[in-house]
């Protein structure tokens, strides 16, 4: 584990160090953050492919003292460099996807256009390549007994990580913080769309035995039908229902404990930043009115740990990189809290 005994957490962040200003290496850190600069299938605003670099920069403004987990940072957090080849592939395929989305939005049939047929095939093959890359990267780190976090990019990037997690842990549940269900099948023709991540997860990974969604406030009729037809595997807490219950007298503690009780022993947190109130993430890919405050979500996470469940990993996705640095600032603080929770829930044997 990283020896940070001589590191002064009160000093100004050194930009030559790693994330949060920590002088860590991949070998010495307990938590390895894998950035995935990918946003090929985003259906509204782009920018999330470059979120990792923006969050890295903003992380130097995060104070390392967390009153709940004051020594978490001492176990070492390390973010890998962004893979430029993956970013270049994302940039290229994003342009292809934009052409395809524009074409089908006008009601034209892609099978009638040879170029569009080729474009769709190329995008889907690129997404399959990305899934395999993420799987290989995360599997190797899990094999070294590292605690692993994924930093998107859009939400589609997590599938390979889920597969690696299922191989290591067998069965587990996912706690999804999100404005969207992400249960669409091949949205806009893309097999691995950001809007299909949970559909693909449930279809391809039987080890994911439970999906509990919280904060949902934008969904399709087909997604709601899928949820209603899958009560044993999916539990969805709509934002409007959470608020109505609070309006009528229930408190967040009661609702949070109910959400946690729907989860199995091992839990992965999948955090789409648009699950928060858009004032906290205004340039995320698809902002939706409503949503959580950060402290509401952190409280939910704390109840997860208090319940005795095991947090096995997490992802953080859809952080925007629009005007200003506000989104990255919030993203960096969410990332720091989740790294702290991960090490706190997985005590070191050293």
Sketch the domain layout of the chain as residue ranges.
Answer: 19-344
Does 350 score more than 60 pLDDT?
no
pLDDT at 27: 96
**Of how many residues is the chain composed?**
350
Tens-digit pLDDT profile for residues 83-113: 999 999 999 999 998 888 888 888 878 787 8
| Total-model pTM | 0.95
> H-type helices in 18-113, by residue range?
51-58, 84-105
For 7, 16, 56, 58, 59, the CA distances from 13, given in Å and listed in that order, are 11, 9, 12, 10, 9
The mean predicted confidence, pLDDT, of the chain is 94
DSSP 269-322: EEEEGGGB-TTS-TTSSS--S--B-HHHHHHHHHHHHHTT-EEEEEEEE-----
Cα(24)–Cα(350) distance, integer angstroms: 17
For residue 34, what is the enclosing H or E element? strand 31-36
Number of helices (H), then strands (E), belonging to the chain: the values are 10, 8
Summarize the confidence of residues 267-279 as an average pLDDT.
98
Q: Could you tell me the sign of the dihedral formed by the alpha carbons of 14, 16, 21, 22, in that order?
A: negative
Instruction: Pick 19-344's CATH classification: 2.60.40.350, 3.40.50.300, 3.40.800.10, 3.20.20.80.
Output: 3.40.800.10
pLDDT at 169: 97
Cα(5)–Cα(31) distance, integer angstroms: 18
pLDDT at 328: 96
């Amino acid at each position: 584990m990283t020896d940070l005994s001589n590191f002064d957490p009160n000093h100004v962040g050194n930009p030559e160090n790693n994330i949060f200003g920590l002088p860590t290496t991949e070998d010495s850190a307990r938590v390895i953050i894998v950035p995935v600069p990918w946003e090929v299938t985003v259906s509204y605003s782009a920018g999330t492919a470059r979120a990792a670099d923006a969050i890295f920069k903003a992380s130097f403004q995060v104070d390392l003292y967390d009153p709940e987990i004051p020594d978490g940072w001492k176990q070492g957090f390390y973010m890998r460099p962004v893979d430029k080849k993956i970013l270049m592939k994302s940039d290229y395929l994003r342009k292809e996807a934009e052409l395809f989305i524009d074409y089908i939005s006008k009601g034209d049939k892609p099978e009638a256009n040879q170029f569009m047929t080729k474009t769709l095939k190329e995008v889907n093959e690129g997404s399959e390549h990305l899934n395999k890359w993420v799987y290989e990267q995360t599997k190797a780190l899990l094999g070294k007994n590292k605690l692993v976090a994924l930093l998107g990019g859009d939400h589609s990037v997590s599938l390979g990580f889920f597969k690696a997690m299922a191989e290591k842990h067998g069965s587990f549940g996912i706690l999804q913080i999100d404005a969207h269900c992400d249960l669409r099948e091949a949205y806009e023709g893309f097999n691995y769309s950001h809007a299909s991540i949970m559909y693909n997860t449930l279809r391809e990974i039987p080890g994911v035995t439970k999906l509990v969604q919280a904060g949902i406030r934008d969904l399709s009729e087909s997604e709601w039908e899928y949820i209603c037809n899958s009560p044993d595997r999916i539990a969805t807490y709509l934002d409007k229902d959470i608020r109505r219950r609070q309006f009528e007298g229930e408190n967040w503690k009661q609702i949070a404990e109910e959400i946690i009780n729907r989860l199995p022993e091992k839990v992965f947190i999948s955090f789409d930043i648009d699950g928060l109130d858009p004032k906290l993430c205004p340039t995320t890919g698809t902002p939706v009115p409503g949503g959580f405050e950060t402290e509401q979500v952190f409280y939910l996470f704390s109840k997860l740990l208090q319940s005795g469940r095991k947090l096995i990993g997490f992802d953080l996705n859809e952080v925007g990189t629009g005007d200003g640095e506000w989104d990255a600032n919030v993203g960096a603080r969410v990332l720091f809290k989740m790294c702290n929770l991960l090490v706190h829930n997985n005590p070191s044997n050293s």
